[in-house]
Amino acid sequence: MTQATLGRNGVRVIAHRGASHDHPEHTLAAYRQAIADGADALECDVRLSADGRLVCVHDRRVERTSDGRGVVSALTYEELAALDFGGWKGEPHRGARVLLFEELLQEALGAGRPVGLAVETKHPTRAGGRLEAELVRMLRAYGLADGASGLVEVMSFSRNALTRLHRLAPGLPAVYLMERRLRPVRPPFAGHAGPGIELVRRDPGLVARLHAKGLRVRVWTVDEPADVELCLRLGVDTLITNRPREVRELVSGLLAER
């Protein structure tokens, strides 16, 4: 297993859309900062453009994160690339274009140390299963689809998406993301469960129950020191955060005190 797979001190810190507290989400600046901050892995959301390009955009529409309008899947890559995705926290847009997943993949592979990718496929979308098929095709082109490197994980709130991903690339580690309580059945083909921090706050015993099912647990989005302490106390395996440097330092300090 790689260093990126194991994480420091056994607890992984994943940068949520990059170091997105400090830079616009899903931009090269955010991901390069996350790598510099020592994140074990980079989280991204992927969608398909109208012409089948895999782009890193969270929302169904582009209004929140760009100076344009429209649905991602209805815009071609050329149309998306003409938009400014550098707007952030009410500041003027700053000249960042839409990020292709392949560009992020190359950035992670060229980091000079093992840096993982945690890739969420967004649903529902008009692309349907083509989204997972294109993601696996891209990973296969880089020799990463069999999961042997330990560098890539796939994530989704959609059980159907996880099922498709398993059929296409059964070796890829999968994460079932959760906003509500997990049903009694085990999530399909997933070795990890990903509850949101609000759910963990309301039901701290959830982490132990998920571990009892044989699942590793990652929690999103963990930015506050009290939430980091709670997750470590409960034995959470992975933290997804907008603040990778601060959270990594806090994790190291808290674990050193034990």
Active site residues: 16, 58
Residue 253's identity, in one-letter code, is G
What is each CA distance from 171 to 4, 45, 151, 166, 211, in whole angstroms? 17, 20, 12, 7, 21
| CA–CA separation, 200 and 178 (whole Å) | 10
Phi and psi torsions of 48, nearest 5° = -105, 135
Q: How open is the CA angle 113-119-120, to the nearest 5 degrees? A: 160
Task: For residue 124, say if its preceding peptide bond is cis, omega within 30 degrees of 0.
Answer: yes
Q: Which amino acid is at 153?
A: E
Peptide bond into 5 cis (omega under 30): no
SS3 176: strand
